Amino acid sequence: MYLQNILLCLIASLVLSTCNRVYVHPFNLFAYNKSECEHIQTQNDTIEKTFLPIPIETEITSEEKIWKVKTYQGKYHFGYLESFLTSLINDLGLRAFEALKGIHTSNTILLPSANFYWSMVSFYLGASGETAISLQKLLGFEHPSGSTSCTSQVNGLKIISKLKTIDSALFSKNGSISVWKTVSIFVSPGVPLSENFIHDLGPSADHLYTRAVNFTDSATSVHLVNEFLDTRLPKKTKSGLTSFDEASNVMYISHVYYKGKVAKSFLIPELQQFWIEPNRQISVPMISASGIFQFKDDSIQNQLVVKIYLGENDFLLLILPTNGNTIENIESSITSYNWQTLNWLNGLSNRYIHLSIPKLEIECSYDAKDILTYMKLSSLLQKTSHFGKLSNEQINIGKILNIVHFELEDSGENEANHIPEKNKGQEPLEVNVNKPFILVFFEGTTKALILLGRIVNPLTII
């Protein structure tokens, strides 16, 4: 859709001059230009400098143990390159979500969509030959003519720099959302990594670690890796590594942590009922908030959409089935659309609402290779794949874990002082989120999908 719009605009500009600047297809702005390609051709396909990651057992420095929540100030510029990239992130996110709901049929799932894209871009940076071409296609950068010449290949660094703009926008809030991002790359002892590769990956996290660990001694190494992660994360992870892929020699673990607060809300003193299934309930802590929310009662799709701001402009969408509709039905409608045609954000209007929503603490861990296998793309990352920019040894990629930890809290309002805003005498609409729902977390400026989930149990660790 998006490409078509751009082409239409291009044609229109030629015929009617309605676009008053020369429109370059975003693809070409991500691709290598002629002079970059000439430079690449003079270089040999060898890595200039490599290093051997230090063993995981090596004493950690005190400096590494410190963590803080990043709060950047200032404005970030968003242009059509960021919007183009957002549509690619969101499209891949919807495809990955479809895979996850196929793998985890009835449980809570929470896909760290933008971070899944980051992990695939990271492997694209290390890939060469056919593997690079296939990964580029997965990322949504398919050249309109199908050409694979150098100028039809995208420069991973250009993608990284735009992804970083989206991340920075998310981090730029003054303390209302806590974000924490870690990437760790583990290799077998003696496997060298390209210095350039690791350097280029730098922007992908607040902290990037590389360590050597014995892949054939699974029991000991699993323990070492989880201990390693626990000393570097804001909260101990319960869904860390469970086993090694012993035939592999590289493993990638990314961990993202988000904590947001519902503005002007308080925690209801008593536990409340939440219906995990039509005839199975549990008691959970609930948050209450009254005020004006953007809202849509969609009687065609039989769903309610409520928008909850977390901080300045990042927001959650809650999508709840109504009129006997089911969560499964909403899910199939999500994945039967692509990002451009999904109309969650259209037609929302202000409504005075009395909202009750469970306090959430959800942690999920997914192996991106399982997602790719479900998408029938397991051939992308197999023994014979080419990762000539990652190492000069034969690379066999093992697990690619995407761990996500998400918490939603009240803002600590005192219930007694909590006087609901009046809205021209309008009665509040009661929205009680006490059944499974779809949760979407957006970066507010670009509308990049940060999280996409089906919440069956508000307190889930898997």
Ligand X SMILES: *[C@@H]1O[C@H](CO)[C@@H](O)[C@H](O)[C@H]1NC(C)=O
Residues that bind ligand X (CB under 6 A): 33-36, 44, 174-176, 189, 214, 216-217
Task: Please count the CA atoms within 13 angstroms of the CA of 8 that sit on its side-chain side.
Answer: 5
The least distance separating ligand X from the CB of residue 151, rounded to whole angstroms, comes to 10
User: For the chain, how big is the Rg over CA atoms in Å?
Assistant: 23
Instruction: Name which of 399 and 454 has its Cβ closer to ligand X.
Output: 399
Q: How many CB atoms lie within 10 A of CB 352?
A: 19
Q: How far apart are the first and last CA of the chain?
A: 36
CA 60 to chain centre: 29
Under 8 Å between Cβ of 110 and 257: no
> Least separation, in Å, of the C-beta of 282 and ligand X?
32
Closest CA to 177 of 167, 187, 191, 185: 167
299: which 2 tokens?
A: 């009687």
Distance of closest approach, residue 343 Cβ to ligand X, in angstroms: 30
CB of 28 to ligand X, least distance (A): 10
Nearer to ligand X, 172 or 294 (CB): 172
Q: How far is the CB of 30 from ligand X (least distance, A)?
A: 11
Residue of this chain nearest to ligand X (CB atom): 217
Residue 305: beta bridge partners?
A: 296, 319
Burial 3-39 (b: 16+ CB within 10 A, else e): eeebeeeeeeeeeeeeeeeeeeebbebbbbeeeebee
Interatomic CA distance for residues 181 and 204, integer angstroms: 8
CA–CA distances in Å: residue 136 to residues 140, 159, 162, 340: 7, 11, 16, 20
Residue 159 CB, nearest approach to ligand X (Å): 13
Contact by Cβ (8 Å): 373, 77: no
For ligand X, the closer CB: 220 or 326: 220
Of 32 and 387, the one with the shorter C-beta distance to ligand X is: 32
Cβ closer to ligand X: 208 or 212? 212
Considering beta carbons, is residue 132 or 327 the nearer one to ligand X? 132
Are 264 and 413 in contact, with CB atoms under 8 Å apart? yes
* Nearer Cβ to ligand X (214/335): 214
CB of 55 to ligand X, least distance (A): 9
- Under 8 Å between Cβ of 426 and 352: yes
Nearer to ligand X, 289 or 304 (CB): 289
CB of 145 to ligand X, least distance (A): 20
Least distance between ligand X and beta carbon 461 (Å): 28
Alpha-carbon gap, residue 333 to 316, rounded angstroms: 19
Q: What 3-state DSSP class applies to 12? A: helix
Nearer to ligand X (CB atom), residue 161 or residue 323: 161
DSSP-derived 3-state class of residue 50: strand
Question: CB 203 → ligand X: shortest distance, Å?
Answer: 16
- Separation between Cα atoms, residue 92 and residue 19, nearest integer Å: 29
